[in-house]
Structures are given as structure tokens and as C-alpha cells.
Structure 1
Amino acid sequence: MDLSVIVLLSLCGFLRGQETTDPISLDDCCKDGKERGQESQDCTSLPLISESTTCRIAQEQCCTAVLEDNICTSGINVAKDQGSCDALLSSSTCETKTAKTCCECCLLGRAAQERGLSCDLTLAVWYQCGLVSRACCVDRSPNSDGKPAPELPKAQGDAQNTEDQCKAAGCSQSCFNGSCACLEGYKLKADAKTCEDINECLSVTGPCPSGHMCFNTVGSYTCQRHSVTCGRGYHLNADGSRCVDIDECALPTGGHICSYRCHNTPGSFLCTCPATGYTLAPNGRSCQDIDECVTSTHSCSESESCFNIQGGYKCLNFDCPANYRRSGDTRCERLPCNQTSECLALPVRITYYHLTFPTKIPIPTNIFRMGPSNSALGDDIEVAIVDGNQGGYFAAKRVEQGGVLVVQKPIALPQDFEISLEMKLRRFGHLSVYLFKIRLFVTPDELSHISE
């Protein structure tokens, strides 16, 4: 009587090497990055949500855009609320650097508005700074904050202005006692009438403190701290003077950057896999199981069969016991009986199987099914584990037209089992016994649980 056995394990996707995931769109990748940017996460070390390199780029760039926009806005608010960026000098992180740059660019725009200059600055500032400066200039209409209009700088000269003497002088800015004078930040040209801007930045000592750069403006100047731009994988040190390496492996998300081990390198990081059984995936972060049986890198003999498991392989063989003959790669058939009760009580057939699954398998889970290939009215089937169930992790249960082997208790540690499962079939008053020898290999659920 033929039997059919259905191995459920392969259908459940327990072998990581055979797992597949639904493709994720770039919009979803970008959305994830934006959400993490709003949470101020490190955009260079985000948890991996897809094996796709393109998805990782979209995720990181969308995160960076949101993060930098929020940081820049905070700097603009400091400029508007305090009229100074000194509050941003206490820290020199990359975030503070961005906020301070936007703050100072906003102050440039406010200064232009106060002096009645055009909001379209002609300074050679970078594009983003120009946008911030113009926005702060246009946004601040005269006296919009309730404060009195700023006073013009006082004219140079110590004599009282005599209007009658200055009427015909033709001065471009101001006149004192018949002589043309200029406002602060300007000087008279050779014609003694026209005022021209003083470039304070060209003075020998320079008007700005150490570590700052001078930018000349019409009638004045601004000082901007030297900006140190750090490349990917680096950030400013505490005093903002130099770039230091970011230890991505030590970040809160470091445990999720690599699937096994993370090693910090200058400006980056390196993921590694266990010394044997795995290889690094093309994404540079995940570890893939090596199927030694397919690649012929196993050490099994010709009399053994190779069975791949997560992170390794097993060399398997079997011998038929007395009164049995081998019939196929995994089956032993009972020799003809002389009708003695002792012989007839032996299993008609012994079949060998091998399965593998991870430690954190859902409980309960059916991992093996057995039953006759065809059923008949009145069939009576009994199933039982007769050997190998140390620890009581497994149970045999009767189901319609057969039985199943069930994992009924969590298996915390990787280990091997050899379960002997017996099925008795009574049909038309005749008893037939079948024995299933099942080798089970429980592997670590996570690579971090593998020791080297």
C-alpha cells in the first residue's frame, strides 16, 4: 500500500535562503526616510527596509532633505527672535553648523532691509544662503516688529551743520560747515563730494575676530565664522575646528546596520559575516547562506548525502535494519514474512526524512504530515512518537486521513533531533505499521546568536 508524505516546512518559508519579499516602491522608500528625518535620526545609518540600493539612496536623501530643512528653519527663527546667532556658538555639531549658517544668512537679509538696500544681494554667497537672505529681507517690512526705525549712522565731523553754506556744495550724503561728509562706512572720493563704500575687510588687522571671515557690505561689513564642511561619515568636533569620524556601529541604529557584525572604519563602516557558512550579500550589509551542497564545498563522502542547513551542512546516510532491503534513496522495505506474528508486527516500510527550521518557529507549527496515498471507508489510523522526543518539544496528532508532527514547545537553542514517528493503519481488519525516521536540525534564528 503506497503512502504519500507532505513536508510542510519548505512551504512555510523557514529557510532564510529561500525567503522573498514584495518589491517596495521608491515613494515608500522616500516616505520612510522623511518620517525618520522628522524624528531627527541619523540619515547615514538608517535601518535597512529593502535589499535595493536605489531604495536605500532614496530613503537617505529624503531623510537628509527633511532634516536639513528643519535645522535651517530653526536657525532662521533664532535670527528673527534674537537678532543674533551667538546662541548657536555653544555647540559645533553638523546640525548646529547648518542652523548657524541659515541664521547668519537671514541676518544678512535683515541688515539689507534696515539699510534700505535691495533684497537681491550681490554678495558671492552660496545659492541656499541667497534664498534665505532674500526671504528674511522681504519678510521684514519697516517697523513690522513695532520697534522704531533704525537710526542712520552719524556723520563724521565735529562742526555744526550750516544749511546756508551747504546748499551749493553738491554733497552726495551730508555736509558740515560747507564741507561734504560721509556716513559711517563711507569715505569721500577725490572730488570731495561723492561718498564711496569703505571695504573694512581690507584693513590690515581686519574687523572680525579670529576664526571668522569678513564680508564687505555697502556701508558696513559682516563677520561669518569659518565653515568646516565635513564629508559623509564625519562630523564636526566639539569646538568646530575639524572633522572627526562617526562611529556608525555605536549609533542607536548600529545594531540594525549589519545583519551580523559591524566594524567602524574612517568615514564609513564594514559589515562582516561568520567565518563559515555565509557570504556578504551585494548590498554590503546582509549575510547570505552558502549552499555547500550546490557549490560542492562540502566534505561528505560518496556514501553520504549532503543536506544544507542555515550556515552549514550535514552529511547523512542510513542503513536498513535486519529483515529489510533498501528500495530507493531514503526507504527500506520489509522482506516477505513467513506469516509469523513477530514478522507481521514489524513496520511494512521505514522511510527517512530530514528537515531544518530556526529556533523561533511559531508555536504550534505542523512540520510534517503523513497518511495513505488513498483512503477507504472505515480506515482507522493511529500516530505516535516512539523515540527521540527528549524534552517533549514535539507531539504527534491525528488529522483527517493521516497525522502530523507538531512543534508544541519553544526550542530556545540550536540542536539536532532524530524522531521516530509510527503510523498504524487498520483497513478491512488488516493492520499495517509504517515508521518514519525524521532528522531535525534546529538552527539559530538570528546571526547575532552565532559565536565564532
Structure 2
Amino acid sequence: MPPSRCTPWHQSSTFAQENEVVVRAARNTSLLDPPLDCRCQLIHSMVIFKLPLKALSILPLYFLCNLSDMCCDCCLLGRAAREQGLTCDHSLSLGYQCGLVSRACCDDRSPDVETKISQGKRINSKTREGLMVEGEEKDFLPLRYGFDAILPSSSLHLPDINECLLGASNCRGGEHCINTVGSFRCQREVSCGTGYELMDSNNCKDIDECESGTHNCSPDFECQNTQGSFRCLPKNQCGDGYIQDAMGSCIDINECLAQTEPCRPGQLCMNTMGSFTCQRNSINCGRGYHLNDGGNRCVDIDECKGPDGACAGHGCINLVGSFRCECKIGFIFNSISRVCEDINECRHYPGRLCAHKCENVLGSYKCSCTQGFKLASDGRNCDDLNECESSPCSQECANVYGSYQCYCRRGYQLSDIDGINCEDIDECALPTGGHICSYRCNNTPGSFYCTCPATGYTLAPNGRSCQDVDECVTGTHTCSVTESCFNVQGGFRCLSFECPPNYRQAGEMARVERSDTIRCVKSCQPNDIGCVLDPVHSVSHTVISLPTFREFTKPEEIVFLRTMSPAYSSPQLSSDIVFDILEGNVQNSFDIVKRQEHGMIVGVVRQVKPLIGSLNMVLKLAMNYVTSGVVSHRNIVNVHIFVSEFWF
């Protein structure tokens, strides 16, 4: 705690309170130094700052002493005025607060007495800072500077003191007081500025940019710290005649430009690396002249002398201070560059020198022809070139104007790669190759051929289709004498049909349209009532052969069941025929529709779904004759179907 000039205080005439407890500042300090004895009354300060009496119990002693210091200064002025015989109301321009203290000390003549306050307990002076209730050692309360506390005997709360507002800080000029809990701190009002940093002591310290690495000196420079800044000094020291640039490199000094008249009159300054030289001025002869041997006069230069001369192989005519070239054919003289330049005839006479292409050459030009042509004897026109004479094509060649065209024989096609060679056409691999031959297509160079299955077929005269071989007709079948030969597509079948009991074969086996058919009719024995009552009058067997359908788009009619019944019967007869499939309809691949042909009823058996061979089946059909709604009799037709594995 800072030292204080606090002295014991006494009762003032301005202090008139009802409190009864004797209170005294408990601090062991010396009195004011002579010549003046500042017997300051602390109560004066409390009056000035309008503090209640209980502040004696809750304010820190250091703050009370600060108030006492100011009180003593103002009080001494009042005492001095009284001793000099001045009135206590004199105006010294002390300010309101200090004036009150000064007048109070001027008027105060009372002896030192103890002040009492109402609580009845005495606070004695001790050698340590604080207040103590007399007789109760435990009630001693150290009043530390700036901190809150609770007084045990009075249960009073000590709040934080804002030293900045009360003017109790020791901040210097240019510093700003900032209150903290239990204390305060002083902070500069003006920043330290660039190159400095504020320390905890509130002083500004120079920042060493070289040590902290915040400088921007290049590698060729060395950093040197200065107050508030730094300096970049070059590491390399350049020799005489050189100077260091911004990058730290040594560059030559052009003394001829940097110095004023470095050479004597009549001399020419010539800069050199790191220095300069002075040379005597010489006569400057113009173009086409040079100094004579004496070096004092300009004479004409004969440019045409020498093995080549100035015209490089062309005619040369010397002139005073100049020359002129006599250029050869195909060249022209350039008066500015004074040389013979080639004439570009192709550019000067476009389209008039060559029929096709013109190419400039030194002193002349050359004609050439596009592909497919050759240069004519006059060297300018172009004639057609017959490329076919060199046989560029693999097969046939046709010459055209300026070019040629290759073509191929039948069964070949021109290559898409070079347009010269002919490649075989694989007719079997074409999109239509599957339909060229009925069975199998075999490609050959430039052509193809068709083949048929090894047995049952033969190649048709057109060389593409396969025809069925009727082994039953050609006699190449292997059926026994008890079997009947039935031809099917791609082969034959040996079948033996017998009529059931009470039936007999009606005539010989006959070929009907596409079918091979036999028919058995009922033949009852005498008195055979069961046979007579049997409604089946006939049983027929029909053999047909069907191909494997590759493209099945609509029903295929395969069997026609013809009857002798008229399509339109009389109302008296009221007869009809009903067709039905009894057995063998695999996957419902067949149906029967009724129609009329030539006024008669006909039943048509149709294939409505494709069948993949080889496949054998028997389709059992019924022809029901209905009279007046009752079936009078029926005929059974057994259709033996053989499906080939081929579509032809």
C-alpha cells in the first residue's frame, strides 16, 4: 500500500452527529513535518465528499488517508489564513470542496475530543491497519485496499471502490484509469505506433523486426534493427565502377552518362565494364565513302570491285557514293536494299503461266500437274494420265479424266480401305443369306452353292431349293409286303392299318389331295344288335406330312373333310353336321371350322400354332350327323400327322 501522511483526526465543529461510539483511525504513522502541524480532521473530508459516518466502518483506510491528504492541504491554507489575520471567508479560488475544508479549519478552535457514535463500543488505535471493536479481539477487520469485506459486528458489506471515479488512482498524464475488482490499472491513451509494442509496465518497447523475422529483406540483404523500424543493408560490397541494384546485384556504372564531360574536349567517351575510356574523335564518312590512307579525307568506295562485288553475280555499275546493279532475267533491282531480288512470276501472273500449278524458283518458275495428269511437252499444259496402263487395280480398271476407277467381277466387292483390291462377297452372310438356299449355303470365292439334307431331299434345278424325294414312288423305301408305304417330307413311313371288328375296308387305298387315306365301313353280322346300334358308321385313316413352320402368321389349312350333305337342308329334314376333335390336339395346335363349297358342307382342319419337328401325332376327328337335334350317326377320321424337322 502506498505511504500516507495520515494523522490522527479530531472532532470538528461541523461534525454534529448522534452516534455514541468512539471511533479513531487505527494507523501508526508520524505527524506532518514542521513548520506546520497538520492536525487534519478526517471528518472534514467526509463532509466534503458527502460520505455517511458508517463509511468509517466500511471504507479502506488507504482511501480515507487519501481523503485526509487532500483535506490536510486545504486545511493548512485555512490555518495559514487565520494566523495571518485574514478572514475565513477570503476567496483564494480554491474550488468548492477545498474551500469548505479551508473555511472549516480557519474557524475551528476547539480542543481535541473523542467522537462518539451510538453503538457503544470503542475502537482503539492499533499498530496494524484496520478497525477493531474494543474488548473483542475477534472483531478486528483488516481493511485492505480496494477489496470488499463483511464487518462481523455490524454485518455490513464492503463494496468494490471505483478508484477512477473517486480520483484515488495514481495514473500519470497521458494515462487512462481503468477500474478493476479490488484495484485499478493505468493504460496509455495514445498507442505506441508502428515498430513499438506496449509492455505490462505501460511503457513502449521497440520491436526488433530482425530478431522476430517480420522484416522483408531479400536474401542478398542483411537486416539491421533501428528504433521503431529496421534497415536492409546489402551483403555484397561492389567494386569501383559498379553499383548495387535493388536486388543486391552489382551492375556497371555508365560513367559516360553518370558524369558530366568525363573526357577532355575533342575526345569521345566509351563506357567499359567497371570503367570508361576516352578516344579521339574521327571523321565520319557517309554511306558509299571511306577515309583515305591519310585519314583526313573521305573518298568514294568502288562497291563493284572484288570477286563477287555488291550485286552478287549480277551486273554492277559503280557510281559516286553509290552503285547500281544490272539484274538478270527473272530478277528486279530493289533501290532501297540495293540488291537484285527474285521476281515471283506465279504471283505476278496468276493463272496465265501454268494450266494447273505454278511453282516459283529462283529467277524463273516451274509448272506441275495435279494427280491424274502429266505435264505436256510445252511445259505448261497438262494431259490426262492413263493410270490403268500400270494395272493399279486387283481386277478391273476404268480410266477417267484425271483419275481411274477400280471395279470387281461378280461375287466380289471393292475394298473400303484402299478402293483398289477386290474382296469376296460372302453371300451366305448377307442379311438375305438365310433365304438364298433352302437348307444350307456354302460360300466360295466369288460365288456360293446350296446343299440339301443327305437323305430324303434332292437339289432343285434352280440350284437353291430342296425337293422331297417320294421313296414310295421311286421304290427306294424299305416297307414289307404287309405294310403300306406313306411318303412324308424328307422320308417315308411304313404303316399297316387294319379295320376294327364289324368293319371292312372300303375299296383300295386311294390318294386324296395331300393325304394318303384308307376307309373302313361298318359291316354287322346278322342279328348283331349291338353292331347295328353303334352310331359309328365308318373309320378312316389319313396320313399327312407337315414342315416346321419358321414364320407362322396365319392358320394353315391341312385337311378337308368333305360330306355329301347340302349346306342348306329343307325345313322338314332339319339336318346338320357337327365337327369335333376328340383326341391328339397337342397344345391346342389345331381346330376345325365348317364352311360350304359347291353347296356342300365341308369341315376344314387348320393348324393354328407352329410345331417344331420332328414330331408324330394322331388327331382323332368326329363328323356328327344331326337330325332334328339328335345325332343319328357319326364317322371317325384318324389323321396321322408327321412334322418334318425342316421348313421345306
Q: Which has the higher contact order (CA 8 A, sep 6+)?
A: 1
> Which protein has the larger Cα radius of gyration, Structure 1 or Structure 2?
2
Structure with the bigger percentage of helix? 1
